[in-house]
Chain A
Amino acid sequence: MNPETEEAGAGDRGLVSTRAVEIGVAAVLFAFGAVFAYSSWKLGNRWGIEGPQSGFFPFYVSLIICGSAASVLFHAIRAGRAHEQAPFVLRGQFAQVLKMAVPATLYVLGVQLIGIYVSSAIYIAFFMRWLGRYAWWRSIAISVVIIVSFFFMFEVWFQVPLYKGIWDLTAWTGY
């Protein structure tokens, strides 16, 4: 396990309160429901010649989303600061989450550009080096072994071609 993880926890301050995130998520849900309800209403949420129109079902579904989100929102706001629960996430913990989320996002961007195989190899090697503190040669060796076995499994045995990216760096393999 990497050393950073063990630092997290003790003497760590909260980043944001659970109440704030609760309110935020409920507000986003409410907005989502409202947009969907409006869009379904424009499609037609009434009775047409073919029975219930296209927007009928989604319209009422969206209304229930708005209703439930409003209820969560109402309870969270009414609970007030006096009932402040544990923080949603501690600073150190959130740093850990970002260490996972940011490279993962860059990885998916990499998949889009240079394809699954090359991007995955770089991602695994980088992650091992960065968080696992492995020697470069070990990180690269392990990630290459993993990715080459994936390549054989998908392209050769199961014959399921995976995404090669906008710039195909594996074209030389012929798959």
Chain B
Amino acid sequence: MSDLAYLFHGFAVAITPFNLGLMLLGIVLGVIIGVLPGLGAANGIAILLPLTFTMPPTSAIIMLSCIYWGALFGGAIASILFNIPGEPWSVATTFEGFPLAQQGRAGEALTTSFTSSFVGALVAVVMITFLAPLIARFALKFGPPEYFSVYLLTFCSFVGMGKGSPAKILASMMLGFALSAVGIDIVTGGLRLTFGFTSLLKGFDFLIAVIGLFGIGEILLSMEEGLTFKGASARINPKVVLETWRKLPRYWLTFIRSTIIGCWMGITPGGATPASFMSYGAAKKFSKDGDKFGTGVVEGLVAPETAAHAAGTSALLPMITLGIPGSPTAAVLLGGLLIWGLQPGPLLFAEKPEFVWGLIASMYLGNVVGLIVVLSLVPAFAAILRIPFSIIAPVIVVICAIGAYTVNNSMHDIWFMLGFGVVGYLFKKLNYPLAPMVLALVLGNNAEDSFRQAMLMSGGSLAILWSNWLVGSISTLAMIMLFWPLIAQGLRKLVPSKPDKLSSEQPVD
């Protein structure tokens, strides 16, 4: 298969000393970002994005995606040692990870979680390697109605699979669409919704929204909770690693189940956080030690970590093949592609094979490098959490402000960032999900564009969304997702079931 030849070519691209160095830098930065509260993968990458504008795109995406892998690994360190989830998808990791650390088995817990992450990511990358070219080839046939129906499915999935109030999911999403419409109308070139403010001419940049919502909002929340970092000490020696590795294969079924959950939730925009909770719940249900969960069961640590990493990785599949990101972080990477002048989507495979395959090859290498880095440098990363909050907090605010400024070299953006921070704080506390808003901000223009083109083709009839079997089935699936909360309610009346205790602990992502 020529795809494999491309993949080897990709390895050749990724393995140059410059790119390997960037990979290492990205992983280390990513782990630091993942460990620190207030800096997550999405806003960390958004902040560093402007620094990559001068790099070759392939090197830039390698570094940024490695930050993503690093952040996925790093979230686990804070969860296990300090019982503080550095990222929302690490919340489920604290359930078993922290009790293990308290029993003095921190090394075992960390090794288990890193290895599970690695396995989850690796399977997802293999899946991307084989599925991506197929999907891209298939998607070449897509016209505007097909694209709009895929957008529709993406956004309706938030309603169908999201947690919490459907009205809040819709409100958050539509707020994103509304803000993305501000500024210049890309079809007619006219101005709209600027209300006479010149600072709104360029509209709202989603990178600013990401930095504000996730960065400033998170810092405000951390401050309110009054974080105190009291952690278990971290020592990993090769003996513990080997012993843990010898024990892990007995959880093969958990690995397989969690990977499937993770890949599915990553491709559909469910995201890593619900994937980790679903996987933890499933492991608890099927394990014979199910009743001991919560006291430090290794199996309960394998499940969420494998699923979170599989989901985080496979979120890149729809991003590179269709131009539709499966998570806020993938959305930021997509924004990066657009800035570097690359149009994500099926044509990317034909026009820039060295870029796509370089990226895919770097996913393999990045995860191997990541595993080695985190296993060997855990004490150093854990030490970051011992820096007092009164130093970290203002530094993070400064980094966010610099990041917001460098996106467009605009002072207004720093004010917008502050505003988004307040919105992020309020929304998070009221359980409005932030991911749909970010994705709507990123995709708003494209979604509207494909909608208007589809409407032009049909002369204004929505029937075009059901005009052939392909677009029809995607649209129908979207409608099922959109009305899923109502359908589920109906089903519950027919088949009463026990309320799920675990899901109440899950944060709205």
Contact = CB atoms under 8 A, between A and B. Distances in A.
Interface of A: 1-2, 5-6, 8-9, 18, 21-22, 25-26, 29, 32-33, 36, 39-40, 43, 47, 50-52, 54-58, 61-62, 64-65, 67-69, 71-72, 75, 88-89, 93-94, 96-97, 99-101, 103-105, 107-108, 111-112, 116, 120, 123-124, 127-128, 131-132, 134, 142, 146, 150, 154, 158, 160-163
13 contacts: A5-B228, A18-B430, A39-B192, A39-B193, A62-B174, A71-B167, A94-B224, A124-B391, A127-B390, A128-B390, A128-B391, A132-B391, A150-B402
Contacts of A2: 389-390
A108 B51 contact: no
B422 interface: yes
Given A40-B193, A105-B418, A124-B394, A61 B401 contact: no
Contact of B175 (A32, A94, A101): A32
A65 B174 contact: yes
Nearest to B399: A150
Contacts of A123: 394, 397-398
Contacts of A72: 165, 167-168, 171
B460 A96 contact: no
Interface stretch (B129-137, B312-320, B448-456): B448-456
A154 B425 contact: no
B430 A108 contact: no
B414 A108 contact: yes
Dominant SS among interface residues on chain B: helix
Contacts of A127: 390, 393-394
Given A61-B181, A128-B394, A97 B224 contact: yes
Contact of B406 (A57, A96, A107, A160): A160
B494 interface: no
A160 B252 CA distance: 49
B190 A93 contact: no
B383 interface: no
Interface in B403-457: 405-406, 409, 411, 414-415, 418, 421-422, 425-427, 429-430, 432, 448, 451-452, 455-456
B18 interface: no
B71 interface: no
Q: Lowest 6 CB-CB distances: which A-B pairs, in order?
A: A132-B390, A5-B226, A68-B171, A71-B167, A127-B394, A51-B456
A18 B429 CA distance: 9
Contacts of A132: 388, 390-391
Contacts of A68: 167-168, 170-171, 174
B205 interface: no
Contact of B223 (A18, A97, A162): A97
Contacts of B175: 29, 32, 65
A61 to B, nearest CB: 4
**Looking at chain B, what size class is its interface with the partner chain?**
35 or more
B178 interface: yes
Given A124-B395, A162-B402, A52 B452 contact: yes
Contacts of B395: 124, 146
B168 A52 contact: no
A60 to B, nearest CB: 9
A25 B178 CA distance: 17
A75 B456 CA distance: 39
Given A40-B192, A142-B391, A111 B50 contact: no
A43 to B, nearest CB: 5
A58 B401 CA distance: 30
A57 B391 contact: no
Which of A18, A107, A134 is packed against the most chain B CB atoms within 10 Å? A107
Given A61-B181, A162-B405, 8 more contacts: A1-B389, A21-B430, A29-B171, A51-B455, A52-B456, A54-B188, A58-B192, A93-B226
Contacts of A97: 220, 223-224, 425
A33 B181 CA distance: 13
Interface in B199-225: 216, 219-220, 223-225
A134 B394 CA distance: 14
B495 interface: no
Interface string B366-408: 0000000000000000000000111101110110011001100
A2 B427 CA distance: 27
A61 B409 CA distance: 30
Contacts of A1: 226-229, 388-390
B177 interface: yes
A43 B182 CA distance: 12
B401 A36 contact: no
B178 A99 contact: no
A116 B397 contact: no
A9 B448 CA distance: 47
Nearest to A101: B220
